[in-house]
Structure 1
Amino acid sequence: MQFDDDADLDTSEVQDVRGSRIPGGAATVGGGVVGLIVLVVGLFLGIRPDQLGLSSGDSGTTATASSPAQVEQSCRTGQDANTRDDCRTVAVVNSLQDFWTQEFQRQGERYSKARTTLFTDRVNTACGSATSAVGPFYCPADQKVYLDLGFFEELRTKFGSSGGPFSQAYVVAHEYGHHVQNLAGTLGRTQDGRTGADSNSVRVELQADCYAGVWAHHATSTPDKRTGRPLITSLTQTDIRDGLDAAAAVGDDRIQEKFQGRVTPESWTHGSSAQRQEWFTTGYRSGDMKACDTFR
């Protein structure tokens, strides 16, 4: 995965509060290692902190940075994105926002941008207070994606993903898939409280995987709003395999087998490894949002 070295990055789309002091204290996250895994299973790639009973903290209050924002200082060009994880995240967010803006315009609709917040350890959101143990998530109440970059190392070492730049891009793209669902009114289908292989919760997650694939299909042809040239210049089959491997690593069946020794489909919230790969591939091959109807 390569970015245009000469492209200017728009750091205004990413809020960097890493190293901040968080008012209101930490979220309540019990249960040791197993408890943390359960939280990651429940929250990674989509479910909000309040849905798992995390303490609300100072709901709606964001941290005030105690040190200068790193991305604003360090992430200036595509060349920076080719060498730094945080700058890569900025570039991926820029590409996603450009694509979805243009896609919504093509359909005669307006896309409302979602910022990404980079944090360390814990963060307060309009959906409640959360720690980095919950993994990346999207909060519809403030329309932001929250991400502790340390999760990418966890994805490789704890969940067995092969890693690679596009595995990280897949995670961010999935969260923006939830933002698209929020704008379209489909994200709320998770509120029925049901779990299981055929539940709305799983269908929402698989659709977000598909939307991530749709973006990937267009990533190297989406013109950057600043230069008119694609920000992403190269996306290889190796990159796509890394994304598929990340999708499989966070499948409900693989996580359950790894951490509890058995698979219980009735408790699934995100879908199996095979399902997640299948729907990302559907989006990637078609490049069409209409192919992502997981509710049929």
Structure 2
Amino acid sequence: MHDTYVHRYDASESTRLRDQAGTLEDLLHGDTCFPAGSEVLEAGCGVGAQTVALARRSPDARITCVDIAASSLREAEARALAAGLDGVRFHRADLCALPFAEASFDHAFVCFVLEHLPRPDLALAELRRVLRPGGSLTVIEGDHESALFHPDDDAARAAIRCLMDLQRATGGDACIGRRLYPLLREADLRDVSVSPRLVYVDASRPALVEGFIRRTFIAMIAGVKTAAIMAGLTDAPTFDAGIRALHRTTATDGVFCYTFFKAVGRRT
């Protein structure tokens, strides 16, 4: 999974992930609470951006976090300790080859990970394997083509397309959110339900203007500039024009919308 992460492993991406998690916590995690004493696996925890929210909302669950990037795990563990979550365990592992016996966990959680995998079906099969009968799998993903904004702008859409094309080149799918229902069904999970989580932002919501448009979405697109130019997808002036157009949506007459998808299924 290391080579498929298009956003880079660096300090700016770590900051973006923390901003994203903080801004979207209620929207994405407000209805997630794991029972006391349950064994929970967070797969692909990265720098722990989602871990703190999960643990805070399920304080009596036992959470095990795995990721393939050692540097990310070190940061995730430090963040958990700083938040007083010393009961969370961390292991380095490949999501498609988990080092756990079958039926080890009551619940599993994966967020913003499947979009980067060439074979999300293999990851889902592995997650199902480690779930106990009746256990749940929760998956959260986005869909970059769901971005709608005013003023609309071709350069902005071209910049977004650069990220999508880079992700596709590594076997990923930046629009995987719309595929969660069939993917979970094909993984032999039952009682699958999917709920769209719309982020709507205008000038009356300054926290989202800053936290989501600027520090999450635009930062994500801007972060692939060098890679997009090197891949021949764009040039600097064109890409910069797209970023300026995205920033234009943060003006007093701007509007921005984006849809995440949250899916829950159970192992029979």
Q: State TM-score, norm by structure 2.
A: 0.27
Give the structure-1-normalised TM-score. 0.25
**Larger helix proportion of the pair:** 1
Which protein has the bigger strand share? 2
